[in-house]
Structure 1
Amino acid sequence: MLCCCSFLKMGRADNPTQLMTAVHKQHAKDPNFPMPIIEKIEEFLGNEEVFSHPEDHALLIQEMKIEAALITNNSPYAEVRSVVDNHDDPAMPVSTLRAWFIGTIFACAISFINSFFDVRMPSIYVISTVPQLLAYPAGKFLERVLPDVGFTMFGVRHSLNPGPFNRKEHMLITIMSNVAKSTPYTNYIVWIQYLPQYFNQSWAINIGYQLLIALSTNFIGYGLAGLCRRFLVYPAYCVWPSSLVTIALNSAFHDVSTETAVVPGPFKSIWRISRLKYFCWAFGLMFVYFWFPNYIFSALSYFSWMTWIAPDNADLAIITGGQTGLGLNPIPTFDWNIVTFNVDPLMVPFFSTFNYFLGAFFSMFVVIAIYYTNAFNTAYLPINSNKPFDHFGNRYKVLTIVDDNGIFDSAKYQAYSPPFLSAGNIVVYMFFFAMYSATVTYGYLYHRHEIAMGLRDVWSSIKTKKTSENTQKVDLDVHNRLMKAYKEVPEWWYMITLAISVAIGMIGIACWPTNTTPAVVLYGIALCLVFVVPIGIINAMTGVQVTLNVLAEFIGGVWVEGNAIAMCFFKSYGYVTCAHALSFSADLKLAHYLKIPPRHTFWAQMVPTLVSTFISVAVLQYQVNIDKICTADAPFRFLCPGVNTFFTAAVFWGTVGPRKIWGVGGQYASTLVGFPIGVLLVLIFYYLNKQWPKNAVFRNAHPVVMMAGALGWAPYNLAYIWPAVPVSAFSWLFLKKRFLGFWAKVCPPLSF
């Protein structure tokens, strides 16, 4: 508020009309932006009397000046203001030797662990929160023991100990760990190519081949993320809720001055505890409680108490069961891992959580209708399984329909069986199709102006290297203005990264007998380019991810039917590069919020990715030669569940191909109705929103998120979705509205 008062005193808000016009254009359809403020802005801009007789509307004009000051000096979103500072210290050390030392060690360690245990059942996976927690004591230790000695390079002094370990160093280490945690997706291709129980292509052991395709898929995402900064990073409405949780933990360690603030809480309570102490208490209690639903009394995890009423009632188990049923249960679990399985109810906006639930709830009736009418012969199968079945009701054996070289054998297919899907799985595929068409339609109708301005700005930046109209408008955001203190990464850096990645990917595919055209790289990237911006905007605003895996498999399977490996490459370049681009964009937003210089962020992403790729490929080289790996007799539980699933999908979509299942005369061709349904639903909600723009229901309805919720079946169900709704309502509708300071102190750290 002090910044806003000084802003008003300096007279910088004397003419709020231009600012409010820009704010209204950016946020009028933004469900995260407070509707009462939008209504006030519309009243201000739409009333000519305000400008002709300002003395009669002094109160409204003063309110607009205050709003102009608030929006200009801080984020318009309370959840961002609660964890992100609206000031910066450009002199704070960032890319220090100790940060690179700690970050590189953590990146190597997390890459090795995740790669080595990826094929174990169950797998062991280290999330980025672990290095973020460990980085603080490691940084403070080096702060104590290292001397202040160093060297000067290009006019900049690099010291072993430049002073106190700070938040920017901490976040740089976190970003380095973030980019190193994922195993290259192409490793799965190598697994199914090389091992004799799959396609038995011994040449796939070549380390040059493995490195080229791994480096290509890993680095293409950076090129796309960099080119999408003006769409997914700079705009204030791209909040990225998951990033706020990471920043909250960072703030808990470093914000000593604000952490001791006294805030009122529910039931007239007063909270003096710091965010760090609260996190430690919550972490300890959650660690103790974890053992009860997961090991000591597992009924707390799947609390299917309704089936206890009539244990022999099959229909009751089908509808209300939490493990094999549809999970229609008002109190389905006491396991926090299940509550937060799909969305984080404490930090993801309530409208997003509720839309997600609505999609799952209404699609449940489609599942029930399909099952109980025996449509597609689903009544003979489990209602909610994600496994394909044969006509005997047994799990589909994909190896039965291929020859010794892994090529589709039509005679074997005719002698065996077409694949059959459960009712839940059919609905999942139908709404996948609906979600893809809805995403493109939604992006055009709701965000075409922002996308057009972003495209103009990218072109202007490449052509003239000057700030364009869009950048000026985005500068309403205080964080963009603060980042002007640092040199930006030029577009051509990212374009070169993209070009090199494409080139080495095409070389890797062309120089070895993959039976795949190198053009698959370009086709996959083309698919990604169509979706990356609308998907990214939806993810950044709602916290809900739209993945392209099914669409990439569908298009790839139609294009290269009978060639499983070619389909896998198309999937890698169409789906995985898009997922990487969004993940890297989220990291860029982290750096943006923390005011880390963009060029430091660039190298903090590139170098650990390069190192982790070499480590992952080295681990792969060792593991593929382990005797009996990926078999029932594998040592160390290296049973390769992920590899087996990947192989099944490769044969199902690539070898058999979607034409036999979804083509003309295919058993599930009617589910393609999802494509027009997706377009129609978006058009309906868009029309309702245009007709009644002030209606809170239509403004907060998000058809794409609804359809994402409809994907929550097979093998999951409502028991994994509904529990988040009351928690989100309590967090966002009660705590945040009535006790904002308390909500800002306790909810972000509790999200871990």
Structure 2
Amino acid sequence: MASTQPVPARQDSAFIDDIEKKESSSDEKLGYVDTVGYDDDDAPGELRLKQAEELEARLASGTADDSEYLVKDAHDISIKVLSTRDDYELPVVTFRMMFLGLGFSAFGSVLAQLYYFKPQTLLVSESFLLIVIYFIGKLWEKTLPSHGLFRFINPGPFNIKEHGAVLIMAYTASASATAIQVISVQDLYYNNELNPGIAIFTLLASQLIGYAFAGLLQEALVYPSVCFWPSVITPANIFQALHFDGGLSSKRTKIFWALFAFVFVYEIIPQWIFPLLTGVSIFCLVDHTSPVMRNVFGGASNNEGLGLLAVSFDWNLITSLNLYTPLWTQLNQDIGIFLTYILMSAVYYGNIWQGLKFPFMSQAIFDSDGNQYNQSAILTNNLFDPVKYAEVGPAWFSATNALYFITANLAMGATITHVLFFYWDELLPFFRALNPWNKTAHIEHDEHYVAMKRYDKVPRYWYLCLLAIAYAMAQATDYTGHSNFAWWQLTVILIISLFFTTAYCTTSAILGYKEFSTQLDGFYGMIGSYMAPGDPISNMYAALYGSQPTVQAIKLLGDLKLGQYLKIPPKVNFLVQVIGCIVGALLNYVMELSIVKNQRAALLTIAGTRLWSGQNAQSFNSNAISWGALGREMFSPGKTYYMVPVSLAIGAIFPIIQYGLHRKWPRNAFLKNFNTSVVLQYSADLSVGVNTQVNTSMVLGVVSQWWVRKRYPRAFTKYNYIVAGALDGGTQVISFILNLALFGAAGPAVPFPNWWGNDLKYSADRCLAPAS
């Protein structure tokens, strides 16, 4: 608990200086690592924790000065925005926690799988679950008896640790696993219905490998304050506002619920009544007949255009991402977006790869006449047939989609070398931990980690055993499931996956920048095309075991950091995450079986019905065809898209050049913070989806992370993240309701009547609609 008595400023300053002198000398000599017998291992950490609690008390009481409110780095966020408070006596593993955790895990996993097969895909968001769980937990607390034997069912107030454990369990389960795509595609397109046991163990294996990777990485990427995981700061701040701020009497809580209610009501307008607000483009309002205007300035509809200079008033598209992403990460992203406008226009209007024959933005593959490619015509027994291919002819991507593949591989290569050169100190504990004869201990200077030392850690061998079990399951199911994916191929893919998982988890932890799942699917599809040429089924398994562990590890490491912020005991965190993985996998599969069996005809049609669609499965299958069956024909040396694999090696060079310049001019802030991997990742970022929110989001990010943070440090520290959570929470709750009630997710769609702001002849921003 934080002290309520402020410490005199001069004493405070001397205290900090003394601690920093002690720790900086150790850090400089040993790189945060010292021997096990180091005498001052615990003392500096305990002193820092005490000092953080005293600073927290001053910040809360308003007696701190502006310099103390100013957030300058990751450490400042962790102790100024979030509380280090730990109410040790609070119960965590209660009947209520397990009941709500299992219930919301079932709810989230069923919904996620249900909407995977819907025309409008709905993702179960973390903010949505957090708020709904809070309401149900408080209702449980207030309405059920809590005396005598009922104390087991209702153990008093619904506390922050129970709430956090329920959310982590439910959020772990609330996704449609990549393995479901493999299972459903094999059933729908290759007449290979997997045995239930094989299917379930494939799901569990792919999920648990990612969790094992996360466990092995947590010492390097969860414990330190430099790894502050920007994406979990907002939910952690909401937790503490709801449970630590004194209910509705707190100013922060009042602001949270006021903004939540406002955006809940407001979002009905742009999402249903007045969709023009999703993207206001002056150019499209002036001329809605020109495809050039649409391609460059439009972007409010899917695959429409770049959205240059458009303004969005729809928080569902804007989101709070740029309110919590670090400023330099955003600036690198903005540079990449600026390059996107130039590069995408250049490759299309320059007719690179015959781009003018195909749509400006599309993820489909085409024949030489610009028609959609007949994929089934090149297969025999589900394998590539070169004779049939010679008759059908070559396949093409849209120019902007090909550009995306190149920049994605450039970014992957750059990510690896950037992380190794710039974040070696953060990764060093991970490599030391892999050495069973390691004689050194990693000293973490993080107040939240110090507060967690009273709890037992999860032994590393738990994660190693989990990895061994999951690996054995994957090998067994690959052979018994007729995946054509050999033992050595799986082993190589997992080694590569661990390599990239380490890199992307590092960037997620420090920069708030992470992978794009389509990028990883494409990369591992490319690797699979060389391992098993001409085999789309094997290619799907390469994508599954390559990308899923990375996606899963990022999600689970974020939850481990959230657990550290909320002071949830590590073994409890392990328990709820594993349970969430298992419940999610089982119910994903049960729902998939039911839907594919009863809606097979609708799922196999291109358009589907108003209630059911196989669009996601079709897309995954198309990727397997293009990378698996056609990989060598499209990407080998001398072929049209040979630069896609070559760009992986080229991308690795850029950070090396930057690092050399940084070593020559180490005080140059630009060379230190410029990140070629982020810039390259965003250099074709607008090649898919809705893009009118990009400029608005960029401006809000700079306003929040630079202007407000520097000019109004008190307001930023107290309210920035709670405002972000309120806007996201209200938006996601009303979006969920609108999808159920009006957008066709649980019944017939109910469109708003046609009018000027909702003119169905045009795109949402009144640009010329793209050809369907």
Where on the TM-score scale, by shorter chain, does this alignment land: which range? 0.7 to 0.9
Match of 2:399 in 1: 423
| Mapped contact 2:237–2:721 kept (Cα < 8 A) | yes
Q: For the residues of structure 1 that align with 2:360 and 2:566, how far apart are their CA atoms?
A: 47
Superposition deviation, residue 24 in structure 1: 7.0
Cα deviation, residue 97, structure 1? 1.6
Deviations 1:156-178 (A, max 9, x none): xx933333211111111110111
Identify the match of residue 333 of structure 1 among 312, 317, 328: 312
Q: Check whether the contact 2:52–2:447 (CA below 8 A) recurs between aligned residues.
A: no
Q: Which residue of 1 aligns with 2:24?
A: 20
Question: What is the distance in 2 between the residues matched to 1:71 and 1:690?
Answer: 37
CA distance in 1, matches of 2:689, 2:26: 43
Residue identity in the other structure for 1:549: D
2:476 paired with 1:507: yes
Q: Does 1:737 align with 2:710?
A: yes
**Native 8 Å contact 1:252 1:259 kept in 2:** no
Q: Which residue of 1 aligns with 2:85?
A: 87
Post-superposition offset of 1:724? 1.4
TM score, norm. by length of structure 2: 0.83
Q: What does 1:38-437 align with in structure 2 at a 5 Å threshold?
A: 77-144=75-142, 145-149=144-148, 159-195=152-188, 198-201=189-192, 204-257=193-246, 274-322=251-299, 323=301, 326-327=305-306, 329-340=308-319, 344-403=321-380, 405-437=381-413
Structure 2 contact 382–535 (Cα < 8 Å) conserved: no
- Does the 8 Å contact 1:230/1:458 carry over to 2? no
Q: Which residue of 1 aligns with 2:628?
A: 654
Q: Is the 8 A contact 2:608 2:614 kept in 1?
A: no
Judge which range, 682-691 or 583-592, deviates more.
Answer: 682-691
Alpha-carbon spacing, 1:258–1:652, altered in 2? closer, same or farther (3 Å): same
SS of the aligned residue for 1:244 comes to helix
Write the letter of the residue equivalent to 1:534: A
Change (3 A) 1:376 1:717: farther
Aligned pairs for 1:506-585 within 5 A = 506-547=475-516, 548-585=520-557
Deviation at 1:706, TM superposition (A): 1.0
1:558 and 1:348 map into 2 onto residues whose CA distance is 37
1:479 and 1:390 map into 2 onto residues whose CA distance is: 57
Q: Is the 8 A contact 2:406 2:647 kept in 1?
A: yes
C-alpha separation between the residues in 1 aligned to 2:30 and 2:107? Answer: 43
Contact 1:220 / 1:501 at 8 angstroms: preserved in 2?
A: yes
Mapped partners of 1:595, 1:219: distance in 2: 24
In 2, the alpha carbon distance for the partners of 1:298 and 1:13 equals 55
Cα distance in 1, alignment partners of residues 683 and 275 from structure 2 = 27
1:578-617 equivalences under 5 Å are 578-617=550-589
The structure-2 alpha-carbon separation of the partners of 1:674 and 1:421, relative to structure 1 and needing over 3 Å to count, comes to same
Any stretches of 5+ residues in structure 2 without a counterpart? 33-46, 57-72, 729-772
When structure 1 is superposed on structure 2, of 92-101 and 630-639 the one drifting more is 630-639
**TM-score under structure 1 normalisation?**
0.85
Q: Which residue of 2 aligns with 1:47?
A: none
Contact preservation (8 Å) 2:217, 2:502:
yes
Greater Cα shift, 223-232 or 251-260: 251-260
Paired residue type of 1:502: Y
Aligned to 2:420: 444
Given candidates 683, 686, 696, the residue that maps to 1:710 is 683
Distance 1:445 1:211 in 2: 40
Displacement of 1:310 in angstroms is: 4.1
Q: Distance in 1 between matches of 2:310 and 2:400?
A: 22
Amino acid at match of 1:176: M
**CA shift digits 1:119-178 (9 cap, x unpaired):** 111133322323311222322233232334469xxxxxx933333211111111110111
Q: Residue 305 of structure 2 contacts residue 361 of structure 2 at CA under 8 Å; is this kept in 1?
A: yes
Uncovered stretches (5+) of structure 1, i.e. residues with no partner: 29-64, 152-157, 261-272
Shift of 1:458: 4.7
Distance 1:318 1:13, change over 3 A: closer
How far does residue 442 in structure 1 lie from its aligned partner after superposition?
A: 0.6
Q: Distance in 2 between matches of 1:666 and 1:719?
A: 35
Contact 1:149/1:160 (CA < 8 Å) preserved in 2?
A: no
Residues of 2 paired with 1:495 and 1:178: CA distance? 24
Counterpart of 2:670? 697
Counterpart CA distance in 2 for 1:250 and 1:742 is: 19
CA distance in 1, matches of 2:131, 2:240: 12
Aligned residues: 683
Contact 1:13 1:69 in 2 (8 A): no
Counterpart secondary structure, 2:190: coil
What is the letter of the counterpart of residue 94 of structure 2?
A: T
CA contact (8 A) 1:70 1:76 kept: no
Q: Residue 657 of structure 2 aligns with which residue?
A: 684
Q: 1:228 Cα deviation (Å)?
A: 0.6
**Higher-RCO chain (CA-CA 8 Å, sequence separation at least 6):** 2
Counterpart secondary structure, 1:545:
coil
Q: What whole-Å deviation, never above 9, does each CA across 1:639-682 have from its counterpart, x for those lacking one?
A: 2111010111111111222x211102211113445234422321
Partner of 1:40: none
2: CA distance, partners of 1:535 / 1:4: 41
Q: Percent identical across equivalent pairs? A: 25
| Kept in 1: contact 2:529–2:628 (CA 8 A) | yes
Rounded Cα–Cα distance in structure 1 between residues aligned with 2:49 and 2:668:
22
Distance 1:502 1:355, change over 3 A: same
Q: Check conservation: 1:219, 1:501, Cα contact below 8 A.
A: yes
1:400–1:750: structure 2 CA closer, same or farther, 3 Å change rule? farther
**Counterparts in 2 of 1:3 and 1:177: CA distance versus 1, 3 Å:** farther
What is the CA–CA distance in structure 1 between the aligned matches of 2:549 and 2:13, rounded to whole Å?
49
Confirm or deny: 8 A CA contact 1:363 1:427 kept in the other structure: no
Q: Is the 8 A contact 1:167 1:254 kept in 2?
A: yes
Change (3 A) 1:4 1:413: farther
- Please state whether the residue corresponding to 2:652 is helix, strand or coil: helix
